[in-house]
């Protein structure tokens, strides 16, 4: 009995343990099912199903005429779910041969028909859920694939997965490449793509997706839970034709001089709208828009800054353009530092006007140092420079604009010294970007009204304007009208008589200033070591009624010169030439000129020409005249109240007097005598470059009509 009781006792203990264990299991099962079930279900689903973002269609960037500068082109990624819940073995087996034939024939001919069929069967056995059929299918290709056997049964029975993708394209390739910019994962946003990323991106949607790989997600349904909202379009101020003109001319100039890089910016004077912004730099693949030098690169501008220096002197009333200044033949001393003019001219005393036109460092520096270098007046000069807006960034809507650097007067932090003022007056010991310098020249062209440079005209959605950007005045007057007029005259004089005289053309007028700056220079004991040069030209055209302002900068030219007049100036001219040949707004209509006032009851003034034609004209108008010559050429002159004709002698070996003749007669006479003729103006000859009576030796003679 004792043994029996002991066995029963042990059995009861084991049974009790099993009952308790079973109770715990039942309790935990109930807890999980009733209370923790939804939580665990959600957690499990999140490992396989999730609401994933769906990118919206990115908006386009347009030129001012609607041309596409950057746009997103749609394509389709075709995949197949071979383990789709709706795909039966019967459907698969009945259609796999036909599907394999279609795919191998029309989609992927790297497979044979048999190889494609075998691959599909193998992937079906493996349960592949996201098999790539075609990476970048067009809309027409996608429509054809949807009709293939098995695929035509639909998303679930046929396992066809179609995902819309987009690719950013630039129809004009390099055109304004850096200004348009880009968005790349892991790198800083660049250009308009970066600055207007939020506008262009739109609003992403949401779609239920199932994870079919480590980091591969497949749409669970065709429909999206939240539809994406496409991005808006950005309409720029850029003109495709002008951008092409600027880039072509700049590229030619940079290559000709084997420079490291260059930039050109074209701006509309009255509005500040940027019509072209070109940047060319060295790269491993040749020249490319590697960096936006016009906006992001602040350098010492050199002589283009002299316009600000002379304007400060004029505005403060210290100088008159006809005042005298001793240029010391282009060499002077400031403390222990020697300053030289860029070119050897041997001039001593000359006018302030001439000193500016020939870009004399010595002349401008001596004037600024004389009037602002004593009695703590340097602050007044700096305040004038700031008053011209040269200490302010332009605020253009592109990331990365470099801030201008203007030293504070007498500041130790800025390393102000006794030589700072004269060197600053010639464009050193301060830095500006090309766009900031152009903004200043544009202001002078605009009669002192400073406009904010801008690149974007408006934001559009489905072709409708939702936001527009109007021209903005930063400052209504940077200087007095008198100073502005004098500055305009100086810039015109640079082209007519100064450093840019060789760039002058008879076809139109322009005004501007050359600049040549030394780069990476070091002042050694015996000499100044120069690490390169920067050539620039800033100006506007036409000179009388400016429509466009333009700056060209070429850095580190290594061949065919390095001065602004020979490197940047020709690029400026090429751009201006092509614009005058193609832009109606730069042409003056013939009817724009004032009509001549015709005097009544007055006799004709002096005229010369063929005697027969003069006689015929006088007879036609029934005018009484006294004929006193039988020569083939004569002059008609007024003597009191009587018209008389006199002999105009034409000698074989001497330059004749053609004043008063029409162009036809003058050309006939001069060219028959062996002279080479160039013509300027319209009307009758009022001036000839070779004095009458000079012996003819086949010279070139220039006649001016008026």
Residue 309 domain flag: yes
Domain end call among 204, 236, 268: 236
Domain end call among 586, 616, 638: 586
Least confident span in 54-63, 132-141, 376-385, 492-501: 54-63
pLDDT score recorded for residue 37: 62
Residue 299 is given by DSSP the state B
Q: Say whether both 577 and 626 belong to one domain.
A: no
Q: How confident is the model at residue 705 (pLDDT cuts 50, 70, 90)?
A: confident
Q: Number of folded domains in the chain?
A: 5
How does pLDDT run across 368-378, given as a tens digit for each residue?
Answer: 999 999 888 99
Q: Say whether both 97 and 171 belong to one domain.
A: yes
Q: Say whether both 69 and 189 belong to one domain.
A: yes
Q: Say whether both 210 and 304 belong to one domain.
A: no
Q: Say whether both 680 and 633 belong to one domain.
A: no
* Of the candidates 579, 442, 574, 428, the residue with the CA atom closest to the CA atom of residue 515: 428
For 170-233, the DSSP string reads -TTTTTTHHHH-B--TTS--BHHHHHTHHHHH-B-EEEEEEE-SSS-EEESSSS-SB--BPPPE
Q: How confident is the model at residue 46 (pLDDT cuts 50, 70, 90)?
A: very low
CA 219 from centre of chain: 43
pLDDT at residue 77 tops 70: yes
Q: Say whether both 97 and 142 belong to one domain.
A: yes
How does pLDDT run across 135-179, given as a tens digit for each residue?
Answer: 889 889 999 999 999 999 887 788 888 887 788 888 887 788 888
Q: Which percentage of the chain shows pLDDT scores above 70? A: 86
Who has greater pLDDT, 154 or 407? 407
Residue 593 domain flag: no
Strand partners, 163: 77
Which domain CATH number covers 697?
3.30.10.20
User: How is the chain split among helix, strand and coil, in percent rounded to 5?
Assistant: 35, 25, 40
* Of the candidates 330, 474, 510, the residue with the CA atom closest to the CA atom of residue 394: 474
- Look over the chain and give the mean of its residue pLDDT values, rounded to a whole number: 86
Residue 592 domain flag: no
Which domain CATH number covers 257?
3.40.710.10
Residue 327 domain flag: yes
Domain that holds residue 26: 2-53
Q: Say whether both 312 and 433 belong to one domain.
A: yes
Buried b (16+ CB within 10 A) or exposed e, 537-571: bbbbbbbeebebbbbbbbbbbeeeebbbbbbbbbb
Least confident span in 180-194, 371-385, 453-467: 180-194
How does pLDDT run across 6-20, given as a tens digit for each residue?
Answer: 777 777 777 878 888
Least confident span in 48-57, 80-89, 489-498: 48-57
Q: Say whether both 347 and 408 belong to one domain.
A: yes
How does pLDDT run across 497-530, given as a tens digit for each residue?
Answer: 999 999 999 999 999 999 999 987 665 455 556 6
Q: Say whether both 702 and 564 belong to one domain.
A: no
Which domain CATH number covers 132?
3.90.1310.10
Q: How confident is the model at residue 226 (pLDDT cuts 50, 70, 90)?
A: low
Q: Retrieve residue 523's tokens.
A: 């002042």
Q: Say whether both 686 and 549 belong to one domain.
A: no
**Helices assigned H by DSSP within 237-377:** 240-256, 293-296, 306-315, 352-357, 361-372
């Amino acid at each position: 009995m004792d043994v029996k009781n002991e066995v029963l006792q042990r059995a009861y203990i084991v049974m009790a343990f099993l009952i308790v264990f079973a109770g715990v299991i039942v309790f935990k099962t109930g807890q999980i099912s009733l209370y923790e079930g939804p939580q665990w279900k959600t957690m499990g689903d999140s490992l396989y199903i999730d609401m994933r973002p769906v990118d919206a269609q990115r908006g386009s960037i347009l030129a001012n005429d609607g041309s596409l500068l950057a746009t997103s082109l749609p394509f389709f990624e075709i995949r197949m779910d071979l383990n789709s819940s709706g795909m039966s073995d019967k459907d698969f087996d009945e259609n796999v041969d036909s599907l394999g034939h279609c795919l191998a024939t029309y989609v992927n001919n790297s497979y044979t028909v048999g190889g494609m069929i075998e691959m599909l069967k193998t992937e079906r056995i493996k349960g592949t859920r996201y098999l790539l059929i075609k990476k970048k299918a067009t809309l027409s290709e996608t429509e054809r694939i949807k009709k293939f056997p098995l695929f035509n049964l639909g998303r679930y029975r046929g396992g066809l997965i179609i995902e819309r993708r987009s690719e950013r394209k630039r129809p004009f390739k390099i055109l304004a490449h850096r200004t348009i910019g880009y968005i790349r994962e892991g790198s800083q946003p660049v250009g308009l793509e970066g600055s207007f990323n939020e506008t262009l991106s739109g609003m992403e949607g949401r779609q239920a997706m199932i994870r079919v790989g480590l980091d591969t997600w497949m749409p669970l349904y065709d429909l999206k839970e939240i539809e994406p909202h496409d991005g808006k379009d950005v309409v720029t101020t850029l003109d495709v034709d002008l951008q092409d003109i600027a880039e072509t001319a700049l590229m030619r100039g940079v290559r000709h001089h084997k420079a490291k890089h260059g930039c050109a910016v074209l701006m509309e004077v009255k509005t500040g709208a940027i019509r072209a912004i070109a940047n060319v730099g060295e790269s491993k693949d040749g020249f490319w828009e590697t960096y936006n030098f016009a906006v992001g690169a602040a350098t010492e501008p050199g002589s283009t800054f002299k316009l600000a220096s002379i304007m400060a002197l004029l505005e403060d009333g210290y100088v008159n353009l006809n005042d005298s200044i001793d240029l010391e033949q282009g060499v002077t001393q400031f403390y222990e530092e020697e300053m030289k003019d860029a070119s050897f001219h041997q001039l001593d005393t000359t006018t302030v006007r001439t000193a500016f036109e020939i870009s004399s460092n010595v002349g401008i520096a001596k004037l600024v140092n004389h009037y602002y270098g004593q009695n703590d007046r340097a602050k007044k000069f700096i305040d004038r420079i700031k008053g011209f807006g040269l200490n302010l960034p332009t605020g253009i809507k592109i990331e990365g604009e470099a801030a201008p650097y203007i030293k504070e007067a007498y500041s130790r932090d800025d390393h102000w010294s006794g030589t700072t003022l004269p060197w600053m007056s010639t464009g050193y010991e301060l830095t500006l970007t090309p766009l900031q310098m152009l903004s200043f020249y544009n202001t002078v062209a605009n009669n002192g009204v400073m406009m904010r440079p801008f690149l974007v005209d408006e934001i559009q959605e489905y072709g409708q304007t939702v936001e527009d950007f109007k021209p903005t005045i930063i400052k209504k007057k940077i200087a007095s009208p008198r100073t502005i007029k004098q500055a305009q005259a100086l810039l015109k004089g640079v082209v007519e008589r100064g450093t840019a005289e060789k760039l002058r053309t008879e076809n139109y007028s322009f005004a501007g200033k050359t600049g040549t700056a030394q780069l990476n220079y070091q002042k050694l004991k015996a000499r100044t070591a120069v690490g390169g040069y920067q050539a620039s030209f800033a100006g506007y055209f036409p000179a009388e009624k400016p429509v466009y302002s333009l700056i060209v900068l070429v850095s580190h030219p290594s061949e065919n010169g390095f001065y602004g007049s020979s490197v940047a100036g020709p690029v400026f001219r090429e751009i201006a030439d092509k614009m005058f040949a193609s832009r109606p707004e730069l042409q003056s209509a013939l009817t724009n000129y004032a009509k001549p006032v015709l005097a009544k009851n007055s006799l004709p003034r002096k005229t010369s020409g063929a005697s027969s034609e003069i006689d015929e004209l006088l007879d036609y108008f029934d005018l009484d005249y006294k004929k006193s010559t039988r020569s083939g050429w004569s002059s008609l002159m007024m003597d009191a109240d009587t018209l008389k004709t006199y002999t105009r002698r034409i000698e074989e070996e001497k330059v004749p007097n053609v004043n008063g003749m029409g162009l036809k007669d003058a050309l006939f006479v001069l060219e028959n005598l062996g002279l080479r003729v160039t013509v300027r103006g319209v009307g009758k000859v009022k001036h000839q470059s070779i004095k009458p009576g000079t012996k003819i030796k086949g010279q070139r003679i220039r006649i001016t009509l008026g």
